[in-house]
Amino acid sequence: MANTYTKLGSYMIPLGSGGTGIGFSSIPQTYNTLVLHVSVRSLYASGYDSLGMYLNGVQTNLSNNFMNGTGTGTSSSRSTYRAISTINAAYNNPNMFTAVTITIPNYTSSTFKQIMIESFEEGQQTAGYGVLASELWSNTAAINSVTFDTATSGVNLAPYSTFTLYGLKTS
Amino acid sequence: MAAQTTYTPIATVTATGSTNAYQFSSIPQTYTDIVLIGYCRSAQSAVNPGLYVRPNSGTGWSWTYLFGNGSTFASGRSTLNTGDGAAGIIIGNSATANVYASFETHFLNYSNTTTYKPYLTMSCAETGGAGGTYLWAATTNSTAAINNVIIYNDSNSNWMVGTTFTLYGITAA
């Protein structure tokens, strides 16, 4: 029987190193939807950080809107930057990671890509962050790579951060 | 160990541009949950028309939503059981060409005949400087198993070419 929720790749940043430019390349073009499950934190020492994501090595033509909840307040914001969610950093308990799910329907289409993002970070600090977001990548190219980094220059993603990519077929 | 089947495609529809509603009917009752994934654009002359996802063509439910458009965060609900509530926002034909919305609806424990059925839709409709994200939680007010789901949009506008809807079945074991 066909397994239509197929793991295409998985990577964990090993202990003793930090990661930047982590991701998946040469993504097969034979699925309909991509789903990424990410457990991540940053080595940023001063506070929370943001997870950056970009497609096909391109960081332009991005437009995001965010619904944010902190446990004490809500807000909505937008950007044209690659940061897609707030994540735990060295400021938080070292064992706490942020859960992020990213869904990209019709990733091989010649239309723009409307990306669904769900992210929840709890760090036992004064606030946690729940983020639901839409990202429009105004590019008609099929997606063949996904890359993650921190949105803070020169800061790496932390060891034990894991990234798994799944492909979902329609038949 | 043999691979377990997850996210089994039950059916897919691809819009032709001349149909305003698509229905998945006679849904097999053999899964634990069903999940609908949509990528869509309406012919409606609007930027962000409403999305309607209705199980069993039924009327009467209650629902709560969260919405953000980049500057405003809003939440609302209805317990009036008066009919349609928009399950989200999508992209209409006043938006830039090539922009489509993405959405996902989860129907949990859809085949049981003992309880009402919760269902949850997240829709993403960023247009490039505008648009928003919508999360909608609803429940049926019937213990009937869900055996059909219909999808349409504001003013019964046609779904444009490039629109796809796929219904998946998820088995717990």
Residues A76/B70, Cβ–Cβ less than 8 Å: yes
The DSSP letter of residue B46 is: S
At the topology level, CATH places domain B8-170 in Jelly Rolls (2.60.120)
As a whole number of angstroms, the distance between CA A116 and CA A138 comes to 14
pLDDT at A47: 80
Q: What average pLDDT score do residues B131-156 get?
A: 93
pLDDT for A150 beyond 90: yes
Q: Is B129 left (phi over 0), alpha (psi -120 to 50) or beta?
A: left
Q: Give the pLDDT mean for B118-144.
A: 94
Find the range with the poorest average confidence among A44-53, A95-104, A131-140, B145-154: A44-53
Query: Residue A128 falls within a domain, yes or no?
Result: yes
Of B69, B162, B166, the CB nearest to A65: B69
Question: Does a structural domain hold residue A70?
Answer: yes
Percent of chain A with pLDDT over 90: 74
Tokens 């962000």 locate to B48
Query: CB of B93 within 8 Å of any CB in chain A?
Result: no
Per the CB < 8 A criterion, the answer to whether A87 and A50 are in contact is yes
Domain ranges of chain B: 8-170
The helix/strand/coil state of B135 is: strand
Rounded mean pLDDT of chain B? 91
Does residue A155 fall inside a structural domain?
yes
Does A3 fall in a domain?
A: no
DSSP B95: S
**What is the predicted pLDDT for the residue at B74?**
96
Note whether A74 contacts B73, CB cutoff 8 Å.
Answer: yes
Question: In this predicted structure, which of A80-84, B134-138, B169-173 has the lowest mean pLDDT?
Answer: B169-173
Q: What is the model's pLDDT at position A17?
A: 74
Residue A20: the pLDDT is 78
Query: Would you say A116 and B104 are in contact if contact means Cβ atoms under 8 Å apart?
Result: yes
Q: Is A68 on the interface with B (CB under 8 A)?
A: yes
Q: pTM score, two decimals?
A: 0.94
**Where is A12: in which H helix or E strand?**
strand A5-12
Q: How confident is residue A32, by pLDDT bands cut at 50, 70 and 90?
A: very high
pLDDT at A151: 86
Radius of gyration of the CA atoms of chain A, in A: 16
A58 touches chain B (CB under 8 A): no
CB contact under 8 A, A112 and B70: no
Between CA B121 and CA B135 the distance in angstroms is 6
Q: Identify the domain containing residue A33 by its residue range.
A: 8-168
Gap from B75 CA to chain A (nearest CA, Å): 10
Cβ of B69 within 8 Å of Cβ of A1? The answer is: no
Nearest CA in chain A to B39: A105
Q: How confident is the model at residue B104 (pLDDT cuts 50, 70, 90)?
A: very high
The per-residue pLDDT for B85 is: 78
- Is residue A2 a part of any domain in this protein? no
Question: B167: exposed, middle or buried (C-beta count within 10 Å: 0-12, 13-18, 19+)?
Answer: buried
Asked if the model's pLDDT at residue A75 lies above 70, the reply is: yes
Indicate which CATH number applies to the domain containing A111: 2.60.120
pLDDT, position A18: 72
Query: Could B70 and A66 be called an inter-chain contact, meaning their C-beta atoms sit closer than 8 Å?
Result: yes
Look at residue B142 in the predicted model and tell me its pLDDT: 87
Residue A44 pLDDT exceeds 60: yes
A-chain CB neighbours of B98 within 8 Å are 110-112, 138, 140
User: Which of the two residues, A1 and B73, has the higher pLDDT score?
Assistant: B73
Q: How confident is the model at residue B1 (pLDDT cuts 50, 70, 90)?
A: very low
Q: What is the pLDDT of residue B83?
A: 60
- Kindly list the residues from chain A whose CB atom is less than 8 angstroms away from the CB atom of residue B73: 67-68, 74-76
Contacts of B127 in chain A (CB under 8 A): 63, 136
Residue A136 near residue A143, CB atoms below 8 Å? no
Interface test with A, best of B24, B102, B103, B160 (most A CBs within 10 A): B102
For residue A129, the chain B residues in CB contact (below 8 A) are none
Q: How far apart are the first and last CA of chain A?
A: 12
* Main-chain phi, psi angles of B59, to 5 degrees: -110, 155
At B6 the pLDDT is: 77
Binning pLDDT at 50, 70 and 90, where does residue A19 land? confident
Terminal Cα distance for chain B, rounded: 14
Q: Do B6 and A115 touch (CB under 8 A)?
A: no
Identify which of A33, A75, A133 has the shortest CB distance to residue B37: A33
Is a pLDDT exceeding 70 seen at residue A153? Answer: yes
